Chains A and B, each alone.
Chain A
């Protein structure tokens, strides 16, 4: 790509270093944004390669590549162009697509915040999936088994969901604080415990919809549902996502507790010396993170899905990790990353309908984006003009003993 400029024996003020110097004057967030954008571009290139090898038209054109090489290239270009166009239109082309993107982004933002908040405290919360499921279970139960007046019912159901997630997250924090059990291992294991708990509950008479043999619960009461926006699938849960992001921003940047969390995240030993309780910080961080993931669970079950099923969490809890990584552990970044991945999911569905490009392509795109974002050195070695990020970025968990 742009490697040519550096190898030439150019006169001292070479153009590339100049550009680099100009860019290195940028604030850190802008550099991060540039790296993220570059990562997205690289991911789209990888995706394009996958689309091309999967395309029938390209396959036939390759058959007579020697005779008309341009055919192959134009077939490939049109395959990629059409797929990405369908993706873009499906994500942003009108009211319905945009509302669909926001609907998809809603739980991703909350889940992403759950992972981000733990990141900043030096914890790696892989357990958003389990916390989300627990939140969904409790919220759904309150939603269909209790019958309360409007508004109140919704609030009680949301609180139940928050509690479910907070409980599942709190266990992790407690074990970490008391016994030093590594949160990555505990959260992974608790994810599966929650998955099987949900599967079991859906076989019991309490949770299974009467007259059904498949794992599905009754639909939650109308009173316990998030209000819908018009006739789209977008619901009030989205507003809660935005409020949750503001809350996390306030918590981390403006409150005493948040200061302690960040201090523990950057250096637990120094924080302990300064008189902070590291264990307390771990517990608080995991309880709040769990509650945030539980909120994502309520958004699924009280807003998007309505009955509780064994697929209620889909892969949101895992996607939340990639959202938080792309968002660099900041609330604003997480919201933006959540919106991007929500748009990718919504657009991917349309792409699958229109050009038959499988939805799984978007999973690849998301993984590649995050892979590149996590390795800025690699991105810089491809796009030479990018300056180095300053500072260490969000502090992440170290090894099993860390």
Chain B
């Protein structure tokens, strides 16, 4: 990242001239142009913002109090200009390279800000709901993406996250309905997530099935089996088998009382707290522990790992199965964490968005979380904008995560690199 070039002339320490590699230059120009385009769109939105006040609602539900009114056009213009400045600074290399990531982030925030001012001019935008919903949509995505991080860091491609979601959602709903126990429901979801992960592991590690093929087939299998069991048992017996209790929110004393952030982040269900924990634990385990080092080693260069005595297949099995736990819990969120009863194909492609988040996050737990939050934000924004009625069709906003991922893998925004041995079965001669 922050490589200082060895060519820096030591004789002139006053003004260190950092020489840019041609590849970096091409990338900077490409990313910079894209940023400028976004910044100009933001500015254009600001110009077309109608006068009047944009009101942002800072607590969900409370309609009269905690309103933040801003002069819409003025705020949008300020943010738009700030966006143009940061894009320009990036393009013209006015800041050290190690800070250039912040410029992109700043531009993103400015763009969203001027967009919101434009959309909310003369109206009330429920900002607290927006963040609340972002977290709701992002939670399963984060868990699914973390599952993918574990699998793919160990060298097993996991396209079957969608399938793990489905079985997790199904079992959580059924177990919660029959036992009335949230803990049992979550455990059952994790267990079925592991069962799906085990199928993925056995077929890819033992039977050397192409992992992309396998993932696709497992999704079809999970769709079929949950659909069949739903049709056969749940539909005719809904009140007994498909009336799960939705997890209740637990307010964390102290933290939950922080204005604005508190109710959004710290008045959540146990599943959301588990998600926070999972991000921290996966990051720590993957990068600070011996097991994590082994996982990364077998994902990058299994032969070398084998040579130093690491059991490649065993490490891969354990990584994939732990991933199953997380994805199963992510699936549980769809039923006991949010919607209640199970319905056929209710995960609606979220497993694939989780895959996208994993890729956008460059196979890193924190990156995957940020990408998942961004995708959650876009999805929630779509439903909010429908409520306050803007001329932007919601479907186009729903495309945003997918388009963003294509832009990312096409190398427009930095280079996205998978673990070296991702998807390649390890065969010893």
| A-to-B contact residues, CB < 8 Å | 50, 54, 124, 126, 175, 179-182, 184-186, 188-190, 192-193, 196-197, 199-200, 203, 318-319, 321-322, 325, 357-368, 370-371, 374-375, 377-378, 396-402
Assess whether B411 is interfacial by the CB under 8 Å rule: yes
Q: Of B207, B409, B424, which contacts A186 at CB under 8 A?
A: B409
Taking A360-B228, A364-B228, A370-B220 as known contacts, 14 extra A-B pairs with beta carbons closer than 8 A to each other, sorted by chain A number, are: A175-B409, A188-B159, A192-B352, A199-B395, A200-B393, A318-B219, A322-B217, A360-B227, A363-B220, A365-B224, A368-B221, A370-B217, A371-B214, A374-B209
**Is the CB–CB distance between B409 and A54 below 8 Å?**
no
**Is the CB–CB distance between A378 and B421 below 8 Å?**
no
**Is the CB–CB distance between A367 and B224 below 8 Å?**
yes
Question: Top 9 A-B pairs ranked by shortest CB distance?
Answer: A399-B423, A363-B224, A358-B231, A360-B227, A200-B395, A400-B418, A367-B221, A364-B224, A54-B232
Shortest Cβ distance from A36 into chain B, in angstroms?
15
**Is the CB–CB distance between B228 and A321 below 8 Å?**
no
**Is the CB–CB distance between B225 and A364 below 8 Å?**
yes
Complex contacts, B48 vs chain A, CB 8 Å:
none
Complex contacts, B398 vs chain A, CB 8 Å:
196
Complex contacts, B9 vs chain A, CB 8 Å:
none
Shortest Cβ distance from B358 into chain A, in angstroms?
10
Find the B residue at minimum CB distance from A397: B212
Report Cα–Cα, A50/B406, bound state, in Å. 40
**Is the CB–CB distance between A192 and B395 below 8 Å?**
no
Q: How many residues of B contact A (CB 8 A)?
A: 54
Shortest Cβ distance from A354 into chain B, in angstroms?
15
Shortest Cβ distance from B274 into chain A, in angstroms?
27
**Is the CB–CB distance between B228 and A54 below 8 Å?**
yes
Assess whether B396 is interfacial by the CB under 8 Å rule: yes
Known: A361-B224, A398-B423. A180 touches B411 (CB 8 A): yes
Most buried by B among A182, A322, A358: A358
6 contacts between A and B (CB under 8 A): A193-B399, A193-B406, A322-B216, A364-B225, A399-B422, A401-B422
Report Cα–Cα, A377/B207, bound state, in Å. 6
| B-to-A contact residues, CB < 8 Å | 152, 155, 157, 159, 203, 207-214, 216-221, 223-225, 227-233, 344, 349, 352, 355-356, 359, 393, 395-396, 398-399, 402-403, 405-406, 409-411, 417-418, 420-424
Complex contacts, A360 vs chain B, CB 8 Å:
223-224, 227-228, 230-231, 344
Report Cα–Cα, A27/B421, bound state, in Å. 34
Find the B residue at minimum CB distance from A200: B395
Shortest Cβ distance from B229 into chain A, in angstroms?
8
**Is the CB–CB distance between A189 and B402 below 8 Å?**
yes
**Is the CB–CB distance between A366 and B224 below 8 Å?**
yes
Q: Of B214, B232, B355, B418, which contacts A401 at CB under 8 A?
A: B418
Complex contacts, B409 vs chain A, CB 8 Å:
175, 179, 181-182, 185-186
**Is the CB–CB distance between B228 and A396 below 8 Å?**
no
Known: A189-B405, A190-B406, A200-B395. A399 touches B359 (CB 8 A): no
Known: A186-B409, A399-B421. A196 touches B210 (CB 8 A): no
**Is the CB–CB distance between B210 and A197 below 8 Å?**
no
Provide the main secondary structure of the chain A interface: helix
Known: A184-B212, A196-B396, A399-B423. A374 touches B217 (CB 8 A): yes
Complex contacts, B410 vs chain A, CB 8 Å:
175, 179, 181, 186
Shortest Cβ distance from A365 into chain B, in angstroms?
8
Complex contacts, A186 vs chain B, CB 8 Å:
406, 409-410
Find the B residue at minimum CB distance from A54: B232
**Is the CB–CB distance between A189 and B403 below 8 Å?**
yes
Report Cα–Cα, A318/B219, bound state, in Å. 10
Shortest Cβ distance from A52 into chain B, in angstroms?
11
**Is the CB–CB distance between A398 and B424 below 8 Å?**
yes
Report Cα–Cα, A146/B353, bound state, in Å. 37
Report Cα–Cα, A312/B41, bound state, in Å. 34
Most buried by B among A175, A179, A375, A377: A375
Known: A399-B421, A401-B420. A374 touches B214 (CB 8 A): yes
**Is the CB–CB distance between B207 and A375 below 8 Å?**
yes
Most buried by A among B207, B209, B217, B417: B217
Report Cα–Cα, A203/B203, bound state, in Å. 43
**Is the CB–CB distance between B422 and A188 below 8 Å?**
no
Shortest Cβ distance from B370 into chain A, in angstroms?
18
**Is the CB–CB distance between A399 and B227 below 8 Å?**
no
Report Cα–Cα, A190/B405, bound state, in Å. 10
**Is the CB–CB distance between A358 and B228 below 8 Å?**
yes
Report Cα–Cα, A360/B233, bound state, in Å. 13
**Is the CB–CB distance between B220 and A124 below 8 Å?**
no
Complex contacts, B223 vs chain A, CB 8 Å:
360, 363
**Is the CB–CB distance between B356 and A189 below 8 Å?**
yes
Complex contacts, A396 vs chain B, CB 8 Å:
210, 212-213
**Is the CB–CB distance between A184 and B420 below 8 Å?**
no
**Is the CB–CB distance between B405 and A203 below 8 Å?**
no
Complex contacts, B152 vs chain A, CB 8 Å:
400
Find the A residue at minimum CB distance from B216: A321
Report Cα–Cα, A54/B225, bound state, in Å. 12
Shortest Cβ distance from A231 into chain B, in angstroms?
31
Shortest Cβ distance from A268 into chain B, in angstroms?
16
Complex contacts, A398 vs chain B, CB 8 Å:
423-424
Complex contacts, A203 vs chain B, CB 8 Å:
393, 395
Report Cα–Cα, A189/B354, bound state, in Å. 11
Find the A residue at minimum CB distance from B220: A367
Complex contacts, B216 vs chain A, CB 8 Å:
126, 318, 321-322
Find the B residue at minimum CB distance from A124: B212
Find the B residue at minimum CB distance from A188: B352
**Is the CB–CB distance between A318 and B220 below 8 Å?**
yes
**Is the CB–CB distance between B395 and A367 below 8 Å?**
no
Shortest Cβ distance from A356 into chain B, in angstroms?
9
Find the A residue at minimum CB distance from B412: A179
Shortest Cβ distance from B10 into chain A, in angstroms?
38
Find the A residue at minimum CB distance from B393: A200
Report Cα–Cα, A50/B221, bound state, in Å. 13
Report Cα–Cα, A402/B402, bound state, in Å. 22
**Is the CB–CB distance between B227 and A363 below 8 Å?**
yes
**Is the CB–CB distance between B423 and A358 below 8 Å?**
no
**Is the CB–CB distance between B422 and A378 below 8 Å?**
no
Shortest Cβ distance from B375 into chain A, in angstroms?
11
Shortest Cβ distance from B393 into chain A, in angstroms?
5
Find the B residue at minimum CB distance from A381: B207
